[in-house]
Every structure is written in C-alpha cells, then in structure tokens.
Amino acid sequence: MFTTEARPMHHLIAAILLAAGTAMAGDLPFPEAVQVFQRAQQGQDKEVAPAIAAFEALVRAEPRNPVYLAYLGGALSLKARSAQAPLDRMKYAEEGLDQLDRALAALGPEQEKAQLRGVPMGLEARLTAANTFLRLPDAIFHRRAQAKKLVAELQKHPALPGAPASIRTAVDAAAAEAAPTRAARPPSRRCAA
C-alpha cells in the first residue's frame, strides 16, 4: 500500500504512463494521418490499419470534428476492400458509412468557416464522403446519388476557388467520376418494314 505521501507521486506516475501509452498508440497529427490515408486509398493495404488507428485517435480527441469522422469513415470503408469474407466486407463498409453519415450530420455553418490545412472543414468532409461513396458499389450501398449531390455542393462551395490546388483538383476528379459514364441516348426506334 502507498502511504499518504506516496499517493500523489503514484498518481503522477500513472498519468505519465497513461499519456505515454496514448502517444505510443500511433497518434499522428492530422497532416500525417491524411498522408497515411492517401497511401491506403491508392492501394497500399498495409496502410489501412494505421490510417484507421490515426483517425480513431483524432476522433477520440475531437469526437465532433466532421473532417476526422469523414476520414475515419473512409478508412473503415477501405478495410472492406481487403476483407476476405463477404460479410466482413459488408460490415466494414457499413461501419465506414456510419462514420461518414455522422460526419455529414455534424456539419453546420461554423464548419464552413473553420479550417484545417487552409481548407474549410465542411468542404473537406464532403469531399472525403463523396469520394468514398463513389468508390462503393452502388448496387449494394446506394450512395451514388448522394455522392453526386455532394459533388454539386462542392462545385458551388464559395471557398472552393481559394482552396489549395490539390483540393480543387480532387473536386474536379470527383465530378468527373460522378458524371454519367455514357451519354443518355433516346430510345431506339425500329422501322417496321
């Protein structure tokens, strides 16, 4: 047992160990976490788990941050890509979609003004959600229409012209991906001979 004099030191040591354990758990600052996410998104499956861990830590620190929630949702959806069992694929994709829905629900006027890396939080959260929705099979998850709506909102966003070039390029790429894959054709009419 600790004496009364030793208890404050015991609490201090416990607090230091807890803080060190949290820091060693893979907490990354936001820009580095985004880089890990982007590598995972580009097909480096070994980066998916670190991306999830990084954004889980960021969400723990700021549970209502829509950008962190959106990236966590995107990372969880990427986990579905490498899952072996179809039920696991569905489970991970649904977990990701749940986080993306939370991110979009958390958007308000204050997130259109608040910025991370010089980008309004609302713009980046919508872009992350739209990109994720576009990459999921629409026949199963039915998110393509929502992605198109988000892309249209992004293209009209008042901060887009002043956003970094990488964000403007990503919005253009999402718009191209959301566009119909083939031109709508009128129904063919056969001539009766």
User: How far is Cα 14 from Cα 19, in angstroms, rounded to an integer?
Assistant: 9
The residue whose two tokens read 């047992």 is: 1
Report how far residue 52's alpha carbon sits from residue 48's, in angstroms, rounded to the nearest whole number. 6
pLDDT score at 174: 96
Q: Distance between CA 14 and CA 40 in Å, rounded?
A: 35
Low-confidence ranges of the chain (pLDDT < 70): 1-27, 181-193
Q: pTM for this one?
A: 0.79
User: What pLDDT score does 176 carry?
Assistant: 96
User: Would you list the domain boundaries of the chain?
Assistant: 22-178
State which CATH number among 1.10.1760, 1.10.260, 3.60.21, 1.25.40 fits the domain covering 22-178: 1.25.40
Predicted local confidence at residue 82, as pLDDT:
87
**pLDDT score, position 7:** 40
Element (H, E) at 135: helix 121-135
Smallest CA-to-CA distance from 62 within 27, 15, 90, 38 is with 27
